[in-house]
Each structure stands twice: as C-alpha cells, then as structure tokens.
Amino acid sequence: MVRLSDMTADDAAHLLSKNCPSFPGEPFVAGPPLKDRRVAIVTTAGLHRTNDTAFDLTDIGYRVIPGNVQAADLAMSHASVNFDRSGFQDDVNVVFPIDRLRELKTAGEIGSMADFHYSVMGAGWEPHEIEPTALEMAALLQRDNVDAALLVPV
C-alpha cells in the first residue's frame, strides 16, 4: 500500500478530498456467534473470473465470484497504477482470502460459506457513485442468507 507521503501532490489531494459519509443510527448490529454465521467475501481488488468482463477505471459495477472458484480461474484488472499486483500473483488470498475462509469452515470456526462472493474495482469512483452497486450487492448477500461479510479493501 502506498503512503500519502510517497504519492504525487495531485494524487494525495484526490484521496484526501473524498467525503466519508455519516450514517444515522447504529451501523452495526449484533449477530449470531461466528461459528453459526454464513460468510461472504467482498473485495475491492477488481477481481473477476477469466471469462468475465474486465474492470476499467470508472467501472462501478461488480463481478460475482462463485464460492467454488479456483485461483487459476481468477484475473485482476484493478486499474490503479498505485497497486502492486505481485501479492495477488503469488497468492490470491492476499486480496481474496477464499482458501482461508474454506479452512475456517472446515475447522468449524464459521457456520458456512456463501455460494457467491463479490468484487468491485476500488479506484476511480466517489462513494455516492458506488452506492447503487452496494445496495444491489447487499440484496444479493441477503438473498444468500449471508450474515457476515469479510470486507477486503485493496
């Protein structure tokens, strides 16, 4: 991850100018014990299956990643020049910890894994622009009975 001090002044100013929305009420709710939860991964790594449409810089959509996906079937089209892809190339779990989630399931640490996980391209858009996408993904997660999401910011 690049530090603000290592970025150009324009790039740093762009990140610092992003508004963080405030939410009324309590954003967090108590849920069942982790061993009973159904968990999904949501990553901003711009991942997709190799036969899916690649992300571009202004893409505010999402890609569905099946829970039985294999690492060799994933591609990364994250468009930020500030992102080092070598970690993903060495181990997909750096940006999409699917194997770790499988291990937690096998060990009984979580109740189950979602049938589907989701990826967005984490650069190039403002928070208000991605809100419709987030609401759509939330509805899909709810339909899959997911009650815990592992958020993996990249």
pLDDT (tens digit, 9 = 90+) per residue, 73-107?
A: 999 887 666 667 676 778 889 889 999 999 999 99
| Amino acid occupying residue 73 | D
Domain boundaries, the chain: 34-152
d(CA 154, CA 149): 15
Mean pLDDT of 113-132: 88
d(CA 29, CA 11): 35
Model confidence at 19, pLDDT cuts 50, 70, 90, reads confident
Closest CA to 137 of 62, 55, 76: 62
Cβ 4 vs Cβ 114: under 8 Å:
no
Token digits for 52? Answer: 């899916």
**Residue-wise over 25-38: b if at least 16 C-beta within 10 A, else e?**
eeeeeeeeeeeebb
The DSSP call for residue 118 is E
Q: Write down the pTM of the prediction.
A: 0.81
